Structure 1
């Protein structure tokens, strides 16, 4: 059976990565979490004081982009690949609220998007891939056979993110998480380069009131239909 390219876009905290990961595993496809790539560069910027602590020296980040090496390394025990930044496993650190605060700002930078989009396009040359992010169906894989645009109310997404952060042991307030979700929505949708938007031929998938099992079963059913067409 021929393989296809599956592009999953949508707002932050809609569960894109969780669903994309499950779908790729079920189909035997490669999974790529592009959000992890932007988060890793954001972490690099924070560590070097290019952003955060009231400072913003993003021109210095751009100068160092050629020295940033990103790669996904499979973890057999976890069942998915983890993000490595310059040979350091940063999977846990990039998921913190601190990184979330600045990732949309870093993702606005044209040179950052250019670097990562080129990497992402190369990853999908052989098809058989599930990739999630903000501009996968519009910029990275505009010819993808299946495009999904995930959405949910800001409150539903903030609640999920809040519980996730608490489970990881972070000390956060719900109001701060909701504010971050709404701020990221605005930045992602209004940035100059590769803004978040639904591709014309994408299937809108609102999971505000769905559990994980229902979401996965519905998405798998959609994917199976598109794969059968090839």
Structure 2
């Protein structure tokens, strides 16, 4: 473990994983909101909204994340001039958040749509019978139950997002995979050691996260 006896290398690792954590949490928040909106569109009675939601899901679920992030950098930033910060690191970070959010929202949408399908149709029909609008039915009756039933699948999406965050290195976000590459370049005789440390950190973070979502799913499951 001689590589990590150097405090500079330890700081490099911590900085890399701090970017991973920030990318994951911020992107998860945006993806959750966007995914719920897309799910509402996919079950909407308005054909245009259903078509938009379906197109979004089909496009992003079948497009490699790397291409999405490269598009954000070269199309949004380089071509269209979208500048989110004067600091290049923060600008790349926010471009990464955009790419990860729109990509992950497609999977969040499908998770929520599967949850919507678990809600008995009779509840929505009864709500329509007493005069509730589609948006009221969705907000008051369907989404609260669907949200509780998809905690487990959302946990899997969150874990996948945390791992996918390492792809942001392609647009210059100095996260964990970039830190790993730098350490390997400077310490070619310790490749296995470096790999095991980085893999171990991911395992130590993501395995308990998986158990937490599993516990939450059982704790808040809808009992029918």
Shared fold (TM-score, shorter chain, > 0.5):
no
Query: Which protein has the bigger helix share?
Result: 2
Instruction: Identify which of structures 1 and 2 has the higher relative contact order when contacts are C-alpha pairs closer than 8 Å and 6+ apart.
Output: 1
TM-score where L is the length of structure 1: 0.28
TM-score, normalised to structure 2, is 0.29
Q: Which structure is higher in strand share?
A: 1
> Which one has the largest radius of gyration?
2
